[in-house]
Amino acid sequence: METVLTNEKDERFIQLSNELNEEYYRNIGDVALKYLDYNQLEDPHVVLLVLNWGNPIACASYRLFDKDSVEIRRVYVKRRYRNKGIAYKLVKSLEKMAMEDNFKYSYITTGTENAAAIALYKKLGYETIDNFGIFENDEICLCMKKEFKTLIF
């Protein structure tokens, strides 16, 4: 397996992102349609792809949230590759890149019923916050935030 740095225009990322949208639809039905605009890939994204023999099996990205923050997005691992630590490594790598670019915070959003994602993000140090933006007053979404800690040697 190899990890590749790319952007939101990469067809492999678009393919995985579409699979993620389809999975949302299977899991929560028509309500998933209200998030389609939010999940468009029009804004610049820093994207990491995991390839297995050249085939895309996982992705994660971030985009600018505000001048001090990024928003981790589109974290997805194909079903047969789950529970191998791939999503954890992708998010950690994105966080490292964001810290190197002097961002101080990271935001992430997931579904309240997505126990695996919530557990992953808590393991990564994310804390639940009040829902923001289009997720405000949305009972099926959970917003989380992490402050990057500066390492002192």
Burial of 6 (0-12, 13-18, 19+ CB in 10 A): middle
Q: What is the pLDDT of residue 26?
A: 77
Domain spanning 2-106 has what CATH number?
3.40.630.30
Q: Residue 107: CA atoms inside 13 Å, Cβ hemisphere, count? A: 18
pLDDT at 23 over 90: no
Cα Rg, the chain, nearest whole Å: 15
- Distance between CA atoms of 72 and 63, rounded to whole angstroms? 7
Domain ranges in the chain are 2-106
Between 133 and 94, the higher pLDDT residue: 94
Per-residue pLDDT tens for 64-118?
A: 999 999 999 999 999 999 999 999 999 999 999 999 999 999 999 998 888 999 9
pLDDT at 30 over 80: no
Burial of 13 (0-12, 13-18, 19+ CB in 10 A): buried
Per-residue pLDDT tens for 135-146?
A: 888 888 999 999
